[in-house]
Each structure stands twice: as structure tokens, then as C-alpha cells.
Amino acid sequence: MTGALLVAGTTSDAGKSILTAGICRWLHRNGVRVAPFKSQNMSNNSAVVLTADGRGGELGRAQAMQAAACGIAPDLRFNPVLLKPGSDRSSQVVLLGEAVDTVTAGNYRTLRPRLAETAFAAFSELRSEYDVLICEGAGSPTEINLRDGDFVNMGLARRFGLPTVVVGDIDRGGVFAAFFGTLALLAPEDQELVAGFVINKFRGDLGLLRPGLDMITAATGRPVHGVLPFHLDVWLDAEDSLAYGRILGRPGAPRGTEWLRVAVIRLPRISNATDAEALAAEPGVQVRLTIEPGEIADADLVVLPGSKATVSDLAWLRETGLADAIRGHAAAGRPLLGICGGFQMLAETIHDEVESGHGTVPGLGLLPVGITFAARKTLSRPVGSGLGAPVRGYEIHHGYVSAGAPDPLLRYQDGRPEGAVAGNVYGTHWHGAFESDGFRRRFLTEVARQAGRHGFTVAPDTRFAAVRERALDVLGDLVEENLDTGALWRLLEKGAPPGLPFIPPGAP
């Protein structure tokens, strides 16, 4: 088989990422050499890839997850353009893994031709190396104000003649109107490539839904290729932290007599919130994302996650009263963990002329370190140890420890210290450290002791890598059991069928 397919969506978070991963997993299990592709991603959840020359580069974490579904290592070409929002008006541009610029809505149009050229070249290279590419769109293909110059949705599909399926989230309501409106606002040449629909997150009696499937097919001339049911085990590797609910994951019953309650601060520019997923995979560990000071008071462990805007998110903590709640939690002797940007916020001082340009600002003063921002971003995949257990992680940060010699939380393989520990307060720049099972178990055992949760017992058999593999297999199963996979094969082999009807009015 050779071919490619674009998975578009009626909205952001409609299910494009998981449907792409599920199709990738299904094809991989059928012996197809398949790879994911997303021309441009806007997300602060990223993964680090080491290139052949040892250089670190970033791509969207969703594409790293989709690569795992394909049984292959992530490649920077899978997501050639990554936009990392630092505010409501500007984003850092990461091109083939390297930060090259900062753009606003105003100057993005100037840079877009270069980004499109890079994305199209990456697609062409990958198409020559793999049997199939499953491409993920961004947002909606009918962002009519952005269609000119588009290279991630129908612009990509038109360039390479890709058949397109549109996925919609029925849990939000209005899915049939969203399907019809998406199609009806596309230009005739775009509509020719839209070959069908997929419904996501359905709960209930499929028999009651079936008349609607028949009616949308009659109205558009395009079939619904399947209905994916809502599934509780589909929650790992979210592209955006807003995709999470208030409770992260589906916590299993505790092995001991008590739960361990974890509160993760949902920062305005939160990045790599996926760090908390490894904690949420543990039985008896309830992980809640929150912006409420009262919920911090009720937590055993508070986590300050990464941030794309450390100084401004720290100011937000102070404005909302969360900073005082965090200090009160630590003063009570209960454990507090900062990861990357969250670690930097716990410092005594932060000197930042790079990200915010605010110079020296006071941190929360809970760890005896000073942080300085360097112009060059650290991108690496370190290996080392912590709490007597082996640890692997990845680093994505401008800030570094420039003052203080604290007790380290981790050590690099060569013995260099990393992070800090001051009693019940912990900090590290390493993302992904808690995916190392032995380290996670020892950390949770220690914080449960500090929190007074003596009835909490860590599970000895949780393997986070196996949890992630099971989740990918669930996605593959959902595709195989609920979609018309024969129709997907035909789209990949032959493209969109000819003669699909035009639905007026078309693009304005």
C-alpha cells in the first residue's frame, strides 16, 4: 500500500490527534510502514528528539505519541512547524526542531511562505520513505479568515491530493451541523477532497443515532465512516492541557488504606502538563488540575508544572492568591514539586532578559537557588539517577541554576547535580522523570510520608511504558472495531472518489 490521508476536525480537540494515532496503530498492526505528519502544530506540549549529530530538537508531543503508535522513533519532520504560545499575541516558532523566531498575528503572514515550503518538503521526503502518511490538520479546515496561505489543512490536501476525513466531537453537541457547515464553507476544489466523516466520543444507543448518519450522508453525499465510542482510557499525551478534565486519568483503587491527593496548578501558559500523567497512572493517586487556592489547601502534594512564560505565570500566581496558598502548603510541611518553569518559580530570584525581558524578579523563595535565562534553549534527553533509582527525562528550557549549591534531586550520568531539594520542597528541570518507574515509586513513598498519608502504599507493578502501550492499543482497537476500515483502505489506495457533490455556498 502507498498513500496518505488527512484527518481534519470540526474544531480543536474534536479528536484529530487520537483518530490519527488510532489509524496509525491499526495500519502498523497490519504490517504497513506508516508515519504521522502535522505540518504545523500550536502547542506548549512538546517532546525532544536527538538527531544523528546529537542536536536536540522539539516537535509536538502528539506527533511523538503518534510515532509510538506507528512503532517508530519520533522524527522532527513529523511536525516541521511548531508554534509555542508565550502570550495571547505571540508565539515562538520552532522550525524542524529549532527555535528560529517569535511571531505575532501581524508578522506571521511574512514568515508563512518559508514555513509552508519547509512543511511541504518534509512531507515529500517522508512520503518517499514510508508506505503511508496519516496527516493531522489543525483547528478546523474552515477557518475562512486563514485559508489563504494555509499549509496544514486543505492547503496541504490540495497540494498533494490527499483524501480527507472530518472528525467531530458529538459530546459537545451539534455535530451534524458542524459537519455540514464545515463542508459548505469550503471552496469547490477543497470539497472534492472531503470524502467522509467520523463521529467521536459517542455514548448511548447507536440505533438512535443511525437516522442522523443517513441524513447527513443524504445531505452531503458523503458517508460517515464510523462512530467512535467515548472511552475512559483515552487520556494520555494530550496535545493541549485544556483537553484534560479536572481529574486527570482514571485513578485505580489504592493498594493501601489511603489516597494520595495531588493538585497540579493549571498555569495560563502551562507546558508539558503530561508530566503529571505518570503520577495519575498510579493506583491510589488522584491528580487534579486546579486554579483554586482552596484545593491546594486540601492537597497532599502540589505540583507547579512547566510554563512557556515563567515570569508572567509567576505574576499570575501572585495576583490570584495561589502564591500565598503554595507558600502556606509548603510552610505546613507538606510536599511541593516544581518542574521546569515551576522549578524556576520556586527560586529566590529569576533573572530573565530573554523570555519576558523583565530583568530580575523575586521568585517564591522556597528553594535556595537563583535562575538566569540564557538566549540558547537547552534541549536534551538526559540519563541519570535520583533517590537511588535510574531516571531518564528530557529538557526544554532557557533558564538555568546560576546561584546556590542546593542538595540535588537528580544527578546526571556523569555525576553533575540537577534540581534541588529543601526539606519538603523539590524542583527539577527534567520533564518525563516520573515515567521512570523506580524513581516515581520512591518519590511518591517519600511525599506520602511527608504528607502524613501513612496508609498510602505505592503499587510495585505499575509500568508507565506499558500503560502508554495499552492506551495506543485501545486506539487501534477503537478504529478496527468501529470504523469502516475497508473504506479507509480504499481512500489510501485510490484517493477521494470522483464526483462528490458540491455543497453551497462554498468559501466566501
Give the residue from 61, 73, 58 showing the smallest Cα distance to 17: 61
Question: Which triple of cell numbers denotes residue 18?
Answer: 487520537
3-class DSSP assignment, residue 438: helix
Residue 329 has pLDDT above 70, yes or no: yes
**Which segment of 178-187, 288-297, 378-387 scores lowest on mean pLDDT?**
288-297
Compute the average pLDDT of residues 92-103: 92
* Torsion from C-alpha of 435, 439, 444, 450, nearest 10 degrees: -140
pTM of the model: 0.93
Which of 139-148, 185-194, 313-322 has the lowest average pLDDT?
139-148
Q: Residue 245: pLDDT above 70? A: no
Q: What average pLDDT does the segment 141-168 reach?
A: 95
The candidate with the shortest Cα–Cα distance to 348, out of 422, 403, 311, is 403
Q: What does the pLDDT read at residue 52? A: 80
Q: Where are the alpha helices (DSSP H) in 97-225?
A: 105-129, 154-160, 175-184, 188-191, 206-220
pLDDT tens-digit map of 31-76? 999 999 999 999 888 999 988 888 889 999 999 999 999 999 999 9
Nearby residues of 149 by Cβ (< 8 Å), 6 or more positions away: 109, 112, 113, 116, 155
pLDDT category at 263 given cuts 50, 70, 90 is very high
List pLDDT tens digits, range 125-149.
999 999 999 999 999 999 888 889 9
By DSSP bridging, strand 90-95 and strand 81-85 are antiparallel
**Which of 340, 351, 398, 429 is the catalytic position?**
340
**Cell 524556576 sits on residue:** 344
How far apart are alpha carbons 110 and 508 in whole angstroms? 23
Count other C-beta atoms under 10 Å from residue 279's C-beta: 25
Amino acid letter for position 52: A
For 204, left (φ over 0), alpha (ψ -120 to 50), or beta?
left
Say if residue 281's pLDDT is above 70. yes
Half-sphere exposure of 192 (CA within 13 A, CB side): 9
Q: In what order do the strands lie in the sheet with 395-403?
A: 359-362, 349-352, 370-380, 395-403
Cβ atoms of 425 and 304 closer than 8 Å:
no
All three cell numbers of 221, joined, read 453525499
* Catalytic residue status for 70: no
Model confidence over 462-508: pLDDT tens digits? 999 999 999 999 999 999 999 999 999 999 999 999 999 999 999 88
pLDDT at 238 over 90: no
pLDDT tens for 363-373 read 999 999 999 99
The reported pLDDT for the residue numbered 145 is 87
pLDDT of residue 21: 97
Q: Using CA atoms, how far apart are residues 16 and 382, in angstroms rounded to an integer?
A: 31
